[in-house]
């Protein structure tokens, strides 16, 4: 007769973790979880810093490029005769390609081609004018102002442009203002294609400084530099080339102090302002100054009246 062999008591005993093993496992798991979380937070912080900095640099370069292209064309006109161009006022006299205001414009949307300057302490503004092509093309930007609006004499279909102020000559105004509902200022562009439609082109611009380089000796080289537009206004007619005030400006230096949209810096940031001094921010925003000197090509060499 076959005997039934019963398992030994040791074999039936449940095998598991001891309390110490369980605590060690939990501790190791928590350490790994904390490490992974720390890496995630660090990576996310680095991503946010890099993302905001990239946006800051890209937007700043775009704004400076837009201003620069406009400044370098100031006073441009197409040759009509051996001594004249078509960049003229309604009465046929030479038009003014540049105008600056120490505190911006009193009414930035003013349709006057010589807008009044504001008198309250603020940041400067600058107006640039130049001749453009006769017909507007939205695809190429031909005949457009700084906002892409039609400032040419003709619409894309060849009909007369009755919307623009002084069609055929682009007028661009750059200044700082606050968008509705925001506390920070933005760099605005307002163009003669529709002065009632100014557009922000760069947000979080904390300061703008404009320095004018004037040629007072007729050598087509700046010999006087100032940030005060009234100094340029008061320049007498040059005996060497008969140019007056703003027509003597050869170069324009633009500096923009721009902040990031978010508080992403790991600590308070020390940055350089437009006047060259250093300052430590009380928030954790990134800041950068963009500076460039633009030559007014039509004033920097002997040119037609």
Both structure tokens of 208: 């703008």
Within a domain: residue 58?
yes
Q: How far apart are CA 8 and CA 22, in angstroms?
A: 27
Task: Find the radius of gyration of the CA atoms of the chain.
Answer: 32
Residue 175 sits at φ, ψ, to 5 deg, of -165, 170
Going by C-beta distance under 8 Å and a sequence separation of 6 or more, which residues neighbour residue 276? none
Within a domain: residue 3?
no
Both structure tokens of 256: 């923009």
Least confident of 9-18, 74-83, 153-162, 185-194: 9-18
Domain enclosing residue 186, as ranges? 46-300
Q: How far apart are CA 182 and CA 66, in angstroms?
A: 23
Within a domain: residue 36?
no
Kindly list the distances between the CA atom of residue 204 and the CA atoms of 113, 176, 177, 272, in Å, as whole numbers in the listed order: 28, 10, 10, 16
Both structure tokens of 18: 């001891």
Average pLDDT over every residue of 204-224: 92
Both structure tokens of 35: 């490490």
Within a domain: residue 18?
no
Q: Which residue has the higher pLDDT, 211 or 41?
A: 211
Q: How far apart are CA 46 and CA 165, in angstroms?
A: 48
Q: Encode pLDDT of 126-162 as tens digits.
A: 999 999 999 999 999 999 999 999 999 999 999 999 9
- Total count of domains within the chain: 1
Within a domain: residue 231?
yes
Q: How far apart are CA 199 and CA 195, in angstroms?
A: 10
Q: Encode pLDDT of 201-210 as tens digits.
A: 999 999 999 9
Within a domain: residue 193?
yes
Within a domain: residue 188?
yes
C-beta separation of 239 from 218 below 8 A = yes
Which secondary-structure segment (H or E) carries 44?
helix 19-72
Q: Tell me which residue has tokens 């928030």.
A: 283
Within a domain: residue 33?
no
């Amino acid at each position: 007769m076959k005997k039934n062999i019963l398992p030994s008591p040791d074999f039936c005993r449940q095998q598991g973790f001891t309390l110490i093993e369980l605590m060690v496992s939990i501790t190791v798991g928590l350490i790994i979880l904390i490490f992974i979380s720390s890496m995630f937070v660090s990576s996310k912080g680095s991503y946010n810093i890099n993302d905001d900095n990239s946006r800051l640099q890209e937007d700043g370069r775009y704004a400076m490029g837009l201003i620069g292209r406009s400044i370098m064309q100031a006073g441009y006109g197409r040759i009509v005769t051996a001594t004249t161009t078509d960049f003229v006022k309604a009465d046929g006299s030479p038009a003014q390609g540049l105008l600056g205001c120490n505190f911006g414009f009193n009414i930035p949307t003013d349709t006057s081609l010589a807008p009044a300057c504001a008198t309250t302490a603020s940041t400067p503004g600058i107006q640039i004018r130049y001749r453009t092509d006769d017909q507007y093309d939205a695809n190429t930007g031909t005949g457009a102002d700084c906002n892409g609006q039609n400032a040419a004499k003709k619409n894309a279909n060849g009909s007369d442009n009755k919307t623009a102020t002084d069609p055929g000559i682009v007028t661009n105004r750059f200044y700082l203002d606050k968008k509705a509902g925001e506390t920070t200022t933005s760099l605005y562009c307002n163009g003669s294609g529709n002065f009632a439609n100014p557009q922000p082109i760069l947000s979080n611009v904390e300061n703008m400084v404009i320095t004018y380089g004037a040629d007072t000796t007729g050598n087509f080289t700046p010999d006087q530099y100032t940030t005060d537009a009234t100094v340029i206004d008061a320049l007498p007619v040059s005996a060497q080339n008969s140019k007056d005030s703003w027509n003597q400006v050869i170069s324009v230096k633009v500096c923009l102090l721009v902040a990031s949209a978010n508080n992403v810096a790991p600590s308070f940031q020390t940055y350089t302002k437009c006047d060259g001094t250093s300052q430590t921010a009380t928030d954790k925003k990134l800041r950068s100054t963009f500076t460039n000197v633009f030559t007014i090509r039509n004033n920097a060499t002997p040119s037609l009246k």
